[in-house]
Amino acid sequence: MIGVWHYLAVAAVLFGLGLVGFLTRRNLITMFLCAELMLQGVVLNLVAFSKFHGNLSGQVFGLVVITVAACEAGMAMALFVLLYRRAKTLDASDWQGVREDQIPAAPEEAGPPMAEPAPAYPTLTPAGARPSAGEEAPARV
Amino acid sequence: MDDLGILRTLVLALPAAPLAAACVCAALGRVGAGSVRRFAVGFAVVHLAAICGSVLLAGNALQNRATEPGGFTPFAVPGASGFATAGTTYELFPVTPAASVQFYLGLDGFNLPLLVLAAVMTLFAILVTGKTITDRPGSFFGWLFVLEAFCLAAFLSFDVLLFYAFFELTLIPSFFLIGRWGVGGGRRDAARKFFLYTLFGSLFTLVGIVGTVLENPTPIGASGMPSYEPPVGNEVRKAGPLTFSIPQLMKNVPAWEGIIPVRVMQAEAVASAARVHVATALRQPNAAAKREAAAELASAEKALAAARKDLDDRHDLRLWLFLALAAGFLVKIPIVPFHTWLPAAYGESPLGITLYLAGALAKLGTFGMLRVVIPLAPDASVLYGLPLIGTLAAVGIVYAAFCAYAQSDLKLLAAYSSVSHLGFLALGLFALNTEGFGGALLHMINHAASTGMLFALLAFLYDRYRTTDSNSFGGLIAKYPRYAFFFMVAALAGVGLPGLCNFPSEMLMMAGLFDARNTRWVGYGLAATAAAGIFLSSWYAFTAVRKILFGPVIEPAQPAGDTPPVDTTRSETRTFVLFAALCLALGLFPQPILDTVKPEAETLAKIVTKARERVTPGLTDPIGVGKGATNR
Amino acid sequence: MSETTLAMAVVLLPLLAAVATTVLRPLRLVHLAHVPAVVGFGAAAVLAFWLLLQVQDAKVPSFINAPIPWFSLGNLRVTVSIHVDPLSATMLATVTFVAAWIAIFSAGYMHGDSGYDRYFAVMGLFVFSMCLLVLANNFLLLVAGWEGVGLCSYLLVGYYYAKPSAAAAARKAFLVTRLGDVGFLLGIFLLWQAGHYEMNLNQLFTNLVLHPPSDGTLTTACLLLFCGAVGKSAQFPLYVWLPDAMEGPTPVSALIHAATMVTAGVYLLARCAPIYAMSSAATATVALIGGITACLAAFLAVGQTDLKRVLAYSTVSQLGFMFMALGCMRAITPGIAVAAAIFHLFTHAFFKALLFLGSGSVMHAMGGVDIRKFGGLRRLMPVTHLTFLAGAAALAGIPPLAGFWSKDQILDALNEACDSDSPNGAIYAIVLGLALIAAAMTAFYTFRAYFLTFWGEERIPPEAGHHAHESPWVMLAPLCVLAVGAVFAGIAVEPFGNGFSHFLSRSPSVELANVVYAKQTNLIPIEHPHLNLTVAGVGMGLAFLGFGLAAVLYRKGGPEVVPPMLVPVFEASKNKLYVDEIYNATVVKPAEVLATASRQVDGAVGSLARLVAFLPKAVGTFLRPLQNGLVQFYALGMVLGLAVFLTLVVARFTR
Q: Are C497 and C193 a contacting pair, CB within 8 Å?
A: no
Cα gap C200→C546, rounded to integer Å: 46
**C171 neighbourhood in chain B, CB within 8 Å:** 542-543, 545-546
Distance from CA of B344 to the nearest CA of C (A): 10
For an interface test with B, give the residue of C11, C68, C71 to mutate (most B CBs within 10 A): C71
Cβ of residue B516 closer than 8 Å to a chain C Cβ: yes
Cα gap B313→A13, rounded to integer Å: 57
**B503 neighbourhood in chain C, CB within 8 Å:** 144
Q: What is the mean pLDDT of residues A93-116?
A: 75
Count CB-CB contacts under 10 A for residue B609: 19
Of C72, C171, C606, the CB nearest to B546: C171
**C628 neighbourhood in chain A, CB within 8 Å:** 96, 99-100, 103, 106
In this predicted structure, the answer to whether residue A90 has a pLDDT above a threshold of 90 is: no
The answer to whether the CB atoms of A23 and C635 lie below 8 A apart is: yes
Distance from CA of A129 to the nearest CA of C (A): 43
Chains B and A share 3 or more Cβ pairs within 8 Å = no
In this complex, the chains that touch B, judged by 3 or more CB pairs closer than 8 A, are: C
Q: Which of C101, C112, C144 is nearest to C258 (CA)?
A: C101
pLDDT of residue B93: 83
Give me chain B's average pLDDT, please.
Answer: 89
Which tens digits make up the pLDDT trace of C523-579? 888 877 777 888 999 999 999 999 999 998 888 877 777 778 888 888 888 888 888
What sign has the CA pseudo-torsion B428, B432, B434, B437? positive
pLDDT of residue B67: 76
Of C140, C171, C609, the CB nearest to B542: C171
Q: What letters, b where the CB count within 10 A reaches 16 and e where it falls short, cover A24-42? A: ebbebeebbebbbbbbbbb
Cα gap C409→B1, rounded to integer Å: 77
The answer to whether the CB atoms of B434 and C606 lie below 8 A apart is: no
Q: Which of C254, C310, C321, C283 is nearest to C479 (CA)?
A: C254
Q: Which of B136, B147, B131 is nearest to B194 (CA)?
A: B147
DSSP 8-state code for residue B496: T
Cβ of residue C611 closer than 8 Å to a chain B Cβ: no
Q: Are B136 and B95 a contacting pair, CB within 8 Å?
A: no
pLDDT of residue A114: 67
What residues 575-604 of chain C have any CB closer than 8 A to a CB of chain B? 591-592, 594-599, 602
Q: Which residues on neighbouring strands pair with residue C79, listed in sequence order?
A: C69
Query: Could you give the 3-state DSSP secondary structure of residue B245?
Result: strand
Distance from CA of C604 to the nearest CA of B (A): 10
Query: Could you give the 3-state DSSP secondary structure of residue B100?
Result: strand
**Phi, psi angles (nearest 5°) of residue B530:** -65, -40
Cβ of residue C67 closer than 8 Å to a chain B Cβ: no
Q: Which residue of C has its CA nearest to A105?
A: C628
DSSP 8-state code for residue C390: H
Say if residue B625 is exposed, middle or buried (CB neighbours under 10 Å; 0-12, 13-18, 19+).
exposed
Q: Which residue of C has its CA nearest to A24?
A: C632
For an interface test with C, give the residue of A29, A94, A96 to mutate (most C CBs within 10 A): A96
**Alpha helix ranges (H) inside B466-557:** 476-479, 481-494, 502-513, 520-549
- B217: cis peptide before it, omega within 30°? no
Of A22, A97, A102, the CB nearest to C635: A22
What sign has the CA pseudo-torsion B550, B552, B553, B556? negative
pLDDT band at A128 (very low <50, low <70, confident <90, very high): low
Complex ipTM: 0.92
In this predicted structure, the answer to whether residue C305 has a pLDDT above a threshold of 90 is: no
Q: Which of B182, B551, B553, B512 is nearest to B346 (CA)?
A: B182
Q: Which residue of B has its CA nearest to C588?
A: B539
Cα gap C651→C655, rounded to integer Å: 6
Q: Are A22 and A38 a contacting pair, CB within 8 Å?
A: yes
Helix or strand holding residue B95 (H, E): strand B91-96
For an interface test with A, give the residue of C628, C640, C646 to mutate (most A CBs within 10 A): C628
Count CB-CB contacts under 10 A for residue B232: 8
Cβ of residue B100 closer than 8 Å to a chain C Cβ: no
**C632 neighbourhood in chain A, CB within 8 Å:** 22-24, 26, 92-93
**Phi, psi angles (nearest 5°) of residue B157:** -70, 140
Q: Which of C179, C147, C173, C143 is nearest to C159 (CA)?
A: C173
The answer to whether the CB atoms of B433 and C74 lie below 8 A apart is: yes
In this predicted structure, the answer to whether residue A138 has a pLDDT above a threshold of 60 is: no
pLDDT of residue B21: 94
Cβ of residue C616 closer than 8 Å to a chain B Cβ: no
Cα gap C77→C199, rounded to integer Å: 7
**B475 neighbourhood in chain C, CB within 8 Å:** 161-162
**A105 neighbourhood in chain C, CB within 8 Å:** 629
Cα gap C121→C585, rounded to integer Å: 38
Spans of chain B below 50 pLDDT: 622-632
Of B200, B475, B627, the CB nearest to C162: B475
pLDDT band at C389 (very low <50, low <70, confident <90, very high): very high
**Phi, psi angles (nearest 5°) of residue B91:** -105, 140
Distance from CA of A23 to the nearest CA of C (A): 5
Which tens digits make up the pLDDT trace of C277-289? 999 899 999 999 9
Say if residue C217 is exposed, middle or buried (CB neighbours under 10 Å; 0-12, 13-18, 19+).
middle
The answer to whether the CB atoms of C207 and B598 lie below 8 A apart is: no
CA atoms within 13 A on the CB side of B291: 3
Cβ of residue A12 closer than 8 Å to a chain C Cβ: no
Cβ of residue C556 closer than 8 Å to a chain B Cβ: no
**A99 neighbourhood in chain C, CB within 8 Å:** 627-630
In this complex, the chains that touch C, judged by 3 or more CB pairs closer than 8 A, are: A, B
The answer to whether the CB atoms of C628 and A99 lie below 8 A apart is: yes
**Phi, psi angles (nearest 5°) of residue B419:** -60, -40
B578 contact partners, CB below 8 Å, separation of at least 6: B124
Cα gap B55→B47, rounded to integer Å: 12
Q: Which of C447, C450, C453, C437 is nearest to C299 (CA)?
A: C437
pLDDT of residue C60: 86
The answer to whether the CB atoms of C144 and B503 lie below 8 A apart is: yes
Q: Are B461 and B476 a contacting pair, CB within 8 Å?
A: no
Cα gap B558→B544, rounded to integer Å: 22
**C630 neighbourhood in chain A, CB within 8 Å:** 92-93, 96, 99, 106
pLDDT band at A139 (very low <50, low <70, confident <90, very high): low
Cα gap C279→C277, rounded to integer Å: 6
- Considering only residues A105 and B363, tell me which one the structure prediction assigns the higher pLDDT: B363
pTM: 0.89
Position C30, amino acid = V
For an interface test with C, give the residue of A15, A17, A20, A22 to mutate (most C CBs within 10 A): A22
pLDDT band at A123 (very low <50, low <70, confident <90, very high): low
Which range scores top for mean pLDDT: A113-122, C314-323, C363-372?
C314-323
In this predicted structure, the answer to whether residue A140 has a pLDDT above a threshold of 60 is: no
Query: Could you give the 3-state DSSP secondary structure of residue C80?
Result: strand
Q: What is the mean pLDDT of residues A95-106?
A: 79
The answer to whether the CB atoms of C630 and A93 lie below 8 A apart is: yes
Q: Are C410 and C344 a contacting pair, CB within 8 Å?
A: yes
CA distance from start to end of chain A: 46
In this predicted structure, the answer to whether residue C371 has a pLDDT above a threshold of 90 is: no
Count CB-CB contacts under 10 A for residue C293: 28
What sign has the CA pseudo-torsion B86, B88, B94, B97? positive
Cα gap B255→B245, rounded to integer Å: 15
**Phi, psi angles (nearest 5°) of residue A135:** -100, 120
The answer to whether the CB atoms of C144 and B626 lie below 8 A apart is: no
Distance from CA of C170 to the nearest CA of B (A): 9
Which tens digits make up the pLDDT trace of C129-142? 999 999 999 999 99
Of B508, B515, B550, the CB nearest to C167: B550
Cβ of residue C166 closer than 8 Å to a chain B Cβ: yes
Residues from C contacting A (CB-CB < 8 Å) are 624-625, 627-632, 635-636, 639
The answer to whether the CB atoms of A106 and C631 lie below 8 A apart is: no
Radius of gyration for the alpha carbons in chain C, expressed in angstroms and rounded? 31
**Alpha helix ranges (H) inside B373-475:** 374-376, 378-380, 391-406, 410-430, 434-465
In this predicted structure, the answer to whether residue A98 has a pLDDT above a threshold of 50 is: yes
Cβ of residue A98 closer than 8 Å to a chain C Cβ: yes
Q: What is the mean pLDDT of residues C298-322?
A: 93
CA C431 to chain centre: 22
Distance from CA of C324 to the nearest CA of B (A): 28
Query: Could you give the 3-state DSSP secondary structure of residue C582?
Result: helix
Q: What is the DSSP string of B590-617?
A: -HHHHHHHHHHHHHHHHHHHHHHHHHST
The answer to whether the CB atoms of B504 and C613 lie below 8 A apart is: no
- Considering only residues C204 and B2, tell me which one the structure prediction assigns the higher pLDDT: C204
Q: How many beta-carbon contacts under 8 Å exist across B and C?
A: 178
